[in-house]
Amino acid sequence: MMTDPVQPLAIALSRCGKTFADGTRALEPLDLEIKAGETVVFLGPSGCGKTTTLRIIAGLEDPDAGGRVLFDGVDVTAQPIEQRNVGMVFQSYALFPNMTVAENIGYGLRVRRAKKPAIAARVDEMLGMMRIEPLADRRIDQLSGGQRQRVALARALAVRPRALLLDEPLTALDAKLRDALRLEIDELLRRLGITAIYVTHDQAEAMALGDRIAVMDHGKMAQIGPPREIYRRPATRFVADFIGTMNRISGVARGGVFVTDAGAVPWLEAPPGTTEALFRPEDVTVVDEGQAHLKGSVVAAFFLGDRTRLFVKVDANKPLVVETDARRDYAHGETVGLRIDPRGLMAL
């Protein structure tokens, strides 16, 4: 069955801050624009304000005075949640345990006083979309975690929302199931063309799903951009450290070379005055000492099957993380040569 396309919603926040009654400042006044049909992932450590931002968009929370929420350019700040027509998959917004799967999915339509045959048809369609037809008459407590998440998604989508807000929908699931459902959600969001905001702690999930990632830090947007940009050109040290693994080494940039205690790395574009070079594990390779930029000693080697992750001590900083092919063993204390791809070097 084909789902009618919905007109996706453009969402904007203008100076939306949030101070809770007890004085907790959860959000600094925030500006954010989400394009119609876009998937934006909010990523950040616990307590940085992700859920609060979602709740403000949904209408579950009012922003502080002066903050405005705009849907397609129209101010909806005063509009109650029922009128905003956004779907939600929140952990705190649990399924109704005393209803069957089908009743849960049809709930929003019943509240909106849709006709019985229309509800039944839509529920069937959603059961099919989420591939849970055989579960229609089960109670919620008879479902696995992954099945519950499918029901939650089906319930949120049943009312044809113009935007979908998902708050860590997969966190409670085991890794394999999470991967599988993440793929399905990705496919679903693209097929429906719906605007989506997806909150997660998991950066792999953020990279996979987001058209853009918004990295949050202490109630502020530290950076917002496509996954590649966030990963390759982090705007701040916080973003650099939060996303992926970042190596750092101290030295001085001089005449197109970055000179460190462990050796020198060619770096033509080093900004003047640079005293620290940052680079990702995939931009370092283990090479013969003759070709090495840096030398260090192996402090740990983890065999990961398809590759080996080495921790190499080169200076007083934390050991460098280096990924290398898994064809040979590395001994603790072994000296290795490292070569760094200059294109991967960053200064912050």
Closest distance between ligand ATP and the C-beta of residue 13, in Å? 14
Contact between 200 and Mg ion (CB under 5 A)?
no
**Which of residues 51 and 260 has its CB atom nearest to ligand ATP in the complex?**
51
Q: How far is CA 75 from CA 9, 14, 241, 258, in A?
A: 13, 10, 36, 52
> Of Mg ion, ligand ATP, none, which one sits near residue 329, judging by CB under 5 to 8 A according to partner kind?
none
Locus of tokens 């590395």 = 330
311 within 8 A of 299, measured Cβ to Cβ: yes
- Rounded to an integer, what distance in angstroms lies between the CA atom of residue 321 and that of residue 318? 9
State the alpha helices, DSSP H only, in 159-296: 175-192, 203-209, 227-232, 237-242
- Binding window for ligand ATP (CB under 6 A); candidates: 18-26, 173-181, 240-248, 303-311: 18-26
User: Could you tell me whether strands 320-325 and 307-313 are parallel, antiparallel, or unpaired per DSSP bridges?
Assistant: antiparallel
Q: Cβ contacts of residue 46 below 8 Å, gap of 6+?
A: 201
**Which of residues 20 and 303 has its CB atom nearest to ligand ATP in the complex?**
20
Locus of tokens 């496919």 = 187
Closest distance between ligand ATP and the C-beta of residue 18, in Å? 7
Binding mask 42-61 for ligand ATP (x = CB under 6 A): --x-xxxxxxx---------
**Which of residues 205 and 283 has its CB atom nearest to Mg ion in the complex?**
205
Binding mask 42-81 for Mg ion (x = CB under 5 A): ---------x------------------------------
- Rounded to an integer, what distance in angstroms lies between the CA atom of residue 346 and that of residue 340? 12
165 within 8 A of 57, measured Cβ to Cβ: yes
Closest distance between ligand ATP and the C-beta of residue 92, in Å? 10
Which residues ranging from 277 to 296 are in contact with ligand ATP (CB under 6 A)? Answer: none
Size of the site for Mg ion (CB under 5 A): 1
Contact between 170 and ligand ATP (CB under 6 A)?
no
Chain positions contacting ligand ATP, by CB under 6 A: 20, 22, 24, 26, 44, 46-52, 201
